[in-house]
Amino acid sequence: METETFLHRDLSSFGLSRSDVEALDERTVVVTRWNWDYSLGHRFQRFCVDLLETQPKLRVLICCSHPEVLTNGRGLQKPRKGEVMELKEFSVEDPNRLPFPFFQIERGGGLTFHHPGQFIFYPIVKLSPARLSLSTMIDQIFDFSIDVLESWDLRGAHHEHRLLGLWHGDRKLASMGIAIERLTTFHGMAINIRRNDEMRRALAELNPCGLSLGQYVSVEELTNLPPEPLEDFRKKFLQRIRHEWK
């Protein structure tokens, strides 16, 4: 079984314990860690990418949140031919002057933000045209998220937008940034569940993903949340994955 060896690994160097790891099925492991130090989570993703070189059928699905942190990818989404995008590029001469820790990372996209009120999903998966392509995986991650939000009586979330993401009307609920190495995905989606006013104040001049701060919204601002929203989202989201990702 693909998952057995993984479940018995010592992952303490990544800030993880045995209770953070579970098998979803015979080839899929779920790692859950709320408020996880970003550098440890990033290093764990790299570890999993290397691991899939020897265990290509294994899938590691990370559900987490991070303390307040800013990350910057390889660059903003490029417009199609004839399309105009009024996105503002991010540049920083001195990262130490930013209000939160800053990481330059491998994923696509521009500046984004994380905080404890987000649900973050990092799929460490070997892509295959026959089983799971990148575009299908991204669409399904958004569709699974929409299903969870509808269970919370939030209607109208969609990903039919010229900019990649999960949207409600013209306001952005979730960002998506994927990196691929050796056909293995890492990084992923961050959906804003709870509003974080401290982060919003810090982002006022930073234009995350090239957008003005007013274009971002949290689920909390649009509907009532269940008592433990991150855990409720995780359980319902993984139910869809268990059903769809055979």
Which residue numbers are catalytic?
209
Distance, in Å, from the CA atom of 240 to the CA atom of 115, rounded to the nearest integer, reads 25
Rg (CA), the chain: 17
> In degrees rounded to 5, what are phi and psi of residue 123?
-90, 120
Contact call for residues 204 and 213 (beta carbons, < 8 A): yes
CB 237: neighbour CB atoms within 10 A?
21
Q: Is 66 helix (H, G, I), strand (E, B) or coil?
A: coil
Alpha helices in 31-132, H assignment, sequence order: 38-51
Query: Parallel, antiparallel, or unpaired: how do β-strands 102-104 and 69-75 relate?
Result: parallel
Q: H helices of the chain, where?
A: 2-7, 38-51, 134-151, 197-202, 229-244
Rounded CA-CA distance 85/211 in Å is: 10
Beta-bridged to residue 190, according to DSSP, are 120, 175
What is the distance between the alpha carbons of residues 26 and 23, in angstroms, rounded to a whole number?
Answer: 7
Fill in the DSSP letter of residue 216.
Answer: B
